[in-house]
Structure 1
């Protein structure tokens, strides 16, 4: 019952953008004390932002952190997510493997028994991770280096992506929101991510729970473009509106 109520709170805030505690109390038929307690939990999980007397949609305004730093955040969750995502790759597939700490865990978890798999990546560190798998063909997109994420962006990264069609994309991001979709902190990287989305049959988003319900600066894709969302266990669980929007949500 508590989880359902908190899911309804998230849904209402996403519908209206911002709501006061008094209005949430009336809509849900519970006391304002109960609403404030729920908002405290949801805000602590990064799924909404507290305001003076209410709550609003979260906006991720944090500056970018180096990959070497972000890989230590939610490390166990990211390893579980990476293993679950890597298990989806089958022989004879072509896959896009995006940049980021969660997608790096996907690379580390790919099976050495895979055959005739082509991995296309804009991530230099991911390409190096895949050197241990001699049966994989690895294509690096090329482009201009962004040192923080070891990623390759415009102008040349987009050119090669236009010529490749992938069975699936493993997409990293900074925010997953039912209304605002999949978002990223950096506009240049988001441009490359959008190109991979457009060239992929399936889109698999890998995101630890801190990304759920968060909206960042640059739009990548609407939530209904996501085939599968792989996330990790968390006290509040994925927001109800995300569960309604994405048919395949895996919590590992």
Structure 2
């Protein structure tokens, strides 16, 4: 195998697994560990990875911070798939929480068009507006400090109300999930703290997110991967990511 082919194969492994180890690559390619270290140094100089002790990790993209209006216009078809899957697991008489998420806006619209009788607690203004006239939906607004960029309520007053509930299910949005360091992220600190409180008050937690977010990061870690029960996505991620998720007994819908 030529050096260029080996470099490309290392990148393929890195993309699939999120990280590589010098010893494992040395055995796989039947070359010395020093040779692999040189390969990793070349790939790092090209901006393709970040070297770590004993190997290297993938350079993950940072998710872009958009305001809520901009976010609602991105990946609508994928979010619709996710919303439909989430709708199908909601049953009559449940009390659910829909947090600040453009996917949850689509889920609220499906609930509004249905005959399901549920109680929806939410901290998002648009969801309140969608559900406000539906007789089959009991709606509870958290109140709190209005975050205008997110079009919803966050912070201490919001968390105080959330802490008084025990939701059957909650549906949480995120900016990114890194299964290899087990973190779930968002941009806004108050939003992240609020999401954490929702998870703590829920019997079952469902993360609603597009599959591309398995490769993206926000900058505030609000939960660990084993804090949730299920991930609802538009499609399955790569096998290596799926295998890690299943190690935590988390289902992917």
TM range (shorter): 0.7 to 0.9
Shift of 1:185: 1.0
SS in 2 for 1:221: strand
CA RMSD between the two structures: 3.1
Q: CA deviation at 1:246?
A: 4.5
Shift of 1:133: 2.4
Query: Structure 2 residue aligned with 1:204, among 196, 203, 206?
Result: 206
- How many angstroms does 1:6 deviate by? 5.7
Counterpart CA distance in 2 for 1:205 and 1:215 is 15
Taking a change above 3 Å as real, the CA distance of residues 238 and 205 of structure 1, as seen in their structure-2 partners, is: farther
Using the size of structure 1 for normalisation, the TM-score is 0.77
Taking the aligned partners of 1:136 and 1:6, their CA distance within structure 2 comes to 48
1:219 aligns with 2:221: yes
For the residue of structure 2 that corresponds to 1:163, the secondary structure is: coil
Would you say how many aligned residue pairs link Structure 1 and Structure 2? 225
Instruction: Provide the residue aligned with 2:233 in structure 1.
Output: 231
3-state SS of paired residue (1:203) = strand
| Residue segments in structure 2 that go unaligned for 5+ positions in a row | 1-10
Distance across 1 between alignment mates of 2:203 and 2:59: 30
The farther-off stretch of 84-93 and 207-216 is 207-216
8 Å CA contact 1:212–1:238 kept in 2: the answer is: no
Task: Give CA-to-partner distance per residue, 1:8-57, whole Å, 9 cap, x none.
Answer: 754351xxxxx58x77743654999xx99xx9xxxxxxxxx833786535
CA distance in 2, matches of 1:235, 1:201: 25
| Native 8 Å contact 2:192 2:222 kept in 1 | yes
Look up the SS of the partner of 2:132 in the other structure: helix
The corresponding residue for 1:16 is none
1:11 to 17, 22, 32: 17
Q: Alpha carbons of 1:214 and 1:52: their partners in 2 closer, same or farther (altered >3 Å)?
A: closer
Conservation of the 8 A alpha-carbon contact between 2:211 and 2:237: no
In structure 1, runs of 5+ residues without a counterpart are 14-18, 40-48
Query: Which one of 45, 57, 60 corresponds to residue 58 of structure 1?
Result: 60
The residue aligned with 2:103 is: 102
Q: Is the alpha carbon distance of 1:199 and 1:30 closer, same or farther for their aligned partners in structure 2, counting shifts above 3 Å?
A: farther
TM-score normalised by the chain length of structure 2: 0.77
Question: Deviation string for 1:169-213 (max 9, x for gaps)?
Answer: 100011112223221111110011011000000000000012114
Alpha-carbon distance change, 55 to 216 in structure 1, aligned in 2, over 3 angstroms: same
Flag the 1:145–1:181 CA change in 2: closer, same or farther, 3 A.
same
- Alignment check: 8 A CA contact 1:176 1:211 kept: yes
Partner Cα distance (1:94, 1:200) in 2: 10
Cα distance, 1:236 vs. partner?
Answer: 4.3
**Rg: which structure is higher?**
2
Q: Rate the CA distance shift 1:243–1:7 in 2: closer, same or farther, 3 A.
A: farther
| Cα pair distance change 1:72/1:28, threshold 3 Å | farther
